[in-house]
Amino acid sequence: LLLLCTLFALNVSAQGKKLFPETPEQKEKRLAWWTNDRFGMFIHWGLYALPARHEWVKNREQLTDSAYQKYFEYFNPDLYNPKEWARQAKAAGMKYAVITTKHHEGFCLFDSKFTDYKSTNTPIKKDLIKEWVEAFRAEGIKIGFYYSLIDWHHPDFTVDRSHPQRAKSDAEYDALNKGKDMAKYRTYLSNQVRELLTNYGKIDILWLDFSYPGKNGKGHEDWGSESLIKMVRQLQPGIIVNDRLDLKDYEDGGDFVTPEQYKVAAWPTENGKRVPWETCQTFSGSWGYYRDETTWKDVKQLLVLLIESVSKGGNVLLNVGPTARGKIDYRAESALKGMGEWMEVNSRSIYGCTQAPEKYARPDNSLITYNPVTKRLYVHLLDYPLQNFTLPGYKGKIKYAQFLHDGSEIRFSAPSGYGYRTNGLGENDLNL
Ligand code: JFZ
C-alpha cells in the first residue's frame, strides 16, 4: 500500500510541475489570436542560401569554418525587399510570420553585440531583421523569431552528434571539445535572446530549435532552458513559445507542439487533453533555398494541408527559403499567389475554425472545418464538381446551405432513401 501511494504521489507531481502560475483559461486567452489565425509564413534565410543545397549543408558536407567563410564574404542580398515578402504573405492569407534570426550555422541576420558573425559585417552591411520586422508589422502580420539553440560556429559549442565535425569515439569527442565551455555558450545564447526580445518591439512568437537529449546530444541543461524561458516571458509577457526546449517534465514547458513535415493522424493530445499544435512544412523539402530541388508541392496539395490541419484543430507554418539575392523563389511566389486566390473567398472556413463536433460525419473525399462561434460548418469537397452529394446524419441540423466561393444557395432535402441525380443541377443538390 505504501509503495502504491508513493507511486501515485510521484505521478501527480510530475504532471503538475509548472514553471509559471498561469491557468488553462489564461493560456487559452494568450493563444487566442494564434489559434484563430491558423496560417503563418516560415522564413529560412541565412548564408546557406549561397550554396543553395540545404540549410544543413555545413553538416552534410562536413565543411570547416574556413570552407564556409566564403559565404559570409559574398553574402550580399541586394534585391532584399521585405515589404514585398510581407505583401506576398498577406495576399496568401498568412497572419503571422517566423524568420530565422540565426540558424544552426550560427550566422546572425541581426546586429548583435555579442558576435561579429552577423549581417552587418557582410557586404550588405544591414540589420536585416530590423527591416523585416518593420515591413511585416506594417502589413499587420504578427512577428515571430526563430532562434537556433544549435550553433556550429560558436567556439564554445561542444561537438556533438548534430555537429559538422563528427567524432567517431568518446576519445575523439574529448579531444575536439578540449577547452570548449558550454556555460559560456549558454550565456551567449541567453544574451542574444535578450537582444532579440528587447531591441525589436513586441514579439509575438519565439521558435527555439531544437533539443536532442541523450548521448552526445543536448537538452535543457545545455541551454539553461528553465531560466531562458523565464527570461523570455519576463521580457515579452504575451509571447507564444514552441516546445523544443526539452522541458517535457513541465506542463508549461512550451505553448504548442510542432509536428514537422508530416500530417498528423488526429489532433495531438497530452495526458488525454488536446493540445495546441502547428505543423511546419516546406514547399519543396528543404527549408533553406535549394536551387536544384524538384519536389515542389502544388497549390491543391498545400490547400489540402491547410484545410486538413484546421479540420484537426491545428495551424500551418509554411516555409519559404529566399535566395541569396533576397527574393522569394518564383515557384514559392506562384504557389502563395494560388493559395491567396483561394483564401480570398474561402478564408472564412479557415480563420476562427477548428475540428467539427463528432456528430458531423465527413462525406467521402471531403474535409470539414467548423466555426464554434458562428456554428457554421464548412464542407470542403475535394472532388467538386459533383451533381449531388449526401451528408448522412445531418437531418434537422441544417438551416441554410451555400457555396462559399459565390454565396449561391444549395438546395437540400431529406428524402427517405438517398436520391441521386446524374445530370444538371437537381431540385436538391444536397441529401441529408
Ligand atoms: C529543425 C532544423 O534542423 C531544420 O533545419 C529546420 O529549421 C526545421 C524547422 O527544424 O529540424 C528538425 C528539428 C526537430 C525535429 C525534426 C527536424 N524533430 O524533433 O523531429
Consecutive sets of 10 residues in the chain, 432 residues long: mean pLDDT of each? 42 68 96 98 98 98 98 98 98 99 98 98 98 98 98 98 95 97 98 98 98 97 98 98 96 93 89 95 97 96 98 98 98 98 98 93 89 96 78 83 90 62 54 70
Residue 415: what pLDDT? 61
Please tell me the predicted confidence (pLDDT) of residue 334: 98
| Nearest alpha carbon, ligand 1 atom 6 | 287
Residue 69: enclosing H or E segment and its boundaries?
Answer: helix 65-73
pLDDT at position 2: 44
Residue 210 CB less than 6 A away from ligand 1 = yes
Looking at the chain, how many residues does it have?
432
Residue 224 to residue 203: CA distance in whole angstroms: 21
**Dist. CA 210 → ligand 1 center (Å):** 7
Residue 387: name the closest of 348, 416, 419, 414 by CA: 419
Give the pairing of strands 273-274 and 269-270. antiparallel
Ligand 1 pocket check for 105: Cβ under 6 Å: no
Q: Using a 6 Å cutoff on CB, does residue 55 contact ligand 1?
A: yes
Scored b (16 or more CB within 10 A) or e, 49-80 reads bbbbbbbbbbbeeebebeebeebbeebebeeb
How far from 288 is each of 47, 92, 322, 423, CA to CA, in Å? 9, 20, 7, 49
pLDDT of residue 411: 85
pTM for this predicted structure: 0.94
Mutation test residue for ligand 1: of 47, 109, 210, the one with most atoms within 8 Å of CB: 210
Q: Who's near 239: CB < 8 A, 6+ residues apart?
A: 197, 203, 204, 205, 206, 232, 233
CB-ligand 1 contact for 251 (6 Å cutoff) = no
* Distance from the alpha carbon of residue 150 to the mean position of ligand 1, in angstroms: 11
Span from the CA of 203 to the centroid of ligand 1 (angstroms): 22
In this predicted structure, what is the pLDDT of residue 262? Answer: 79
